[in-house]
Structure 1
C-alpha cells in the first residue's frame, strides 16, 4: 500500500499501564478526533463498535494484516490491535488526531509518517500507578500483571526522548494539571504546523 502523508499532527499518548493515558486523552481531545483502532478483543458492554474500536474477527484482522491496511499492529493480553492507514489519513485530513498506543505502535506509525506523529509520554511513579490500579481494578491478578509491566513500560520514556519532537508530562500531578499540560503541548504543536 502506498503511504500518503498526514495533513495534520497525530498525537500519540504513551505511558505505563495505569498512568491515566486514556482518561487524560479523553479529557484533552474531542472524541471525533480519535483514531479508532481495530481489535480482536470482545466488545465490552459499555463500548460501541466503530466508536471505541472496530471489532474484528481473527480472520478479518488477518485480512487487514495481509493487505497492509494497518500502519501498526500488536498483541496485548492475547488480543490483536492495530491502527489502519486509511483511518490515520482520514482523521488528519482536516484537523489533528490522537490515539493511546504502545511504544511499538508509535514507532511503527512514526516510521511511516515521520515528524507529524507526536509522542506525549506520561511519566508516573510506580507508587501512583499501583494506587490508581487498585482504585479501578478488583482483580488482583490483573493488578499484579500491570504492576509487573511498569518497569518495562516506564523505560519507554528514554525511547520517546530520542524522537524530535517529543513531550514528557509529569503524570504525578493532579488530573487537572496533567490535562492542562497536555493541552499546552497540543496548542504549541498546532501553532507550529
Structure 2
C-alpha cells in the first residue's frame, strides 16, 4: 500500500539539544502549522491534549505502531514519541507544516513523503549550548547529559548534507538572526513549490 502524498511542504527542524529549535520554529511559523506528536509521557502543568501532544497510554501507543498509523516513532527518556500519518496529512492539506524532530524521525518521514519533506539543521557550537543551558538554570546533571548527547547529535549535520533539499542555519548567531534565516528559507521553499 502506498501512502498518500503531502499537499504542502513539511519542514523538519533538527539540531542538538539547546540549539533553540523549538523557540526559533515557534517564532517563524504559526502555532496551528505544528504537527502534534503522540507521546506516552505524562502531561505537564499547563499542557493540553490535542494542543501540546496527543497523550497516549503505552497500550494506545502500541496500537498506533501495530496499525501503521505513525510516520515515525522513537523512545526518549523511557517515553515513546511519534508523528501520526493522519495528523501529517491533515496539517499539510491547506498549507505547509512543521515539527521539531530527531534526525531518525526525519529519515523515516522523508522515506514516506519525499520530496515534500525539508530538513533544516540548526548548527550550534558545544560551548554555546552549554552556556545556554547554564543561563537557563538547568541542573548540573542535565547539562552533563546534554553535553554527551551533543556529540552524537552534531554528527547528524554530516548526514543531512546528503539530502538534496536540506538547509543548515548557523545557530551561533543572535536569536533574531536565526529567526530571519529560518523565515527566509521557509519563504523561498514555499515560493518554489507553489
Please give the residue correspondences for 1:158-173 in structure 2 after superposition, counting only pairs within 5 Å: 158-173=158-173
Q: CA deviation at 1:111?
A: 0.4
3-state SS, counterpart of residue 99 of structure 1: strand
Shifted more, 131-140 versus 49-58: the winner is 131-140
Cα deviations by residue, 1:98-129 (Å, 9 ceiling, x for unpaired): 00000000000000001100000000000000
Is 1:18 the counterpart of 2:18? The answer is: yes
Show the counterpart of 1:152: 152
State the TM-score, normalizing by the size of structure 2: 0.97
Please give the residue correspondences for 1:93-132 in structure 2 after superposition, counting only pairs within 5 Å: 93-132=93-132
Provide the aligned length of Structure 1 versus Structure 2: 193
3-state SS, counterpart of residue 46 of structure 2: coil
Show the counterpart of 1:79: 79
Find the aligned partners of 1:94 and 1:176 in 2 and give their Cα distance. Answer: 28
| Structure 1 contact 115–164 (Cα < 8 Å) conserved | no
Q: Which runs of 5+ in 2 are unaligned?
A: none
Runs of 4 or more off by more than 4 Å in structure 1?
Answer: none
Q: CA deviation at 1:137?
A: 4.0
Show the counterpart of 2:54: 54
State the TM-score, normalizing by the size of structure 1: 0.98
Q: Which runs of 5+ in 1 are unaligned?
A: none
3-state SS, counterpart of residue 49 of structure 2: coil
- RMSD of the alignment, in Å? 0.9
Find the aligned partners of 1:106 and 1:138 in 2 and give their Cα distance. Answer: 27
Q: CA deviation at 1:12?
A: 0.2
| Structure 1 contact 137–143 (Cα < 8 Å) conserved | no
Cα deviations by residue, 1:79-105 (Å, 9 ceiling, x for unpaired): 100000001100000000000000000
Aligned CA distance change for structure 1 residues 156 and 114 (closer, same or farther; 3 Å): same
Is 1:5 the counterpart of 2:5? The answer is: yes
Find the aligned partners of 2:144 and 2:42 in 1 and give their Cα distance. Answer: 22
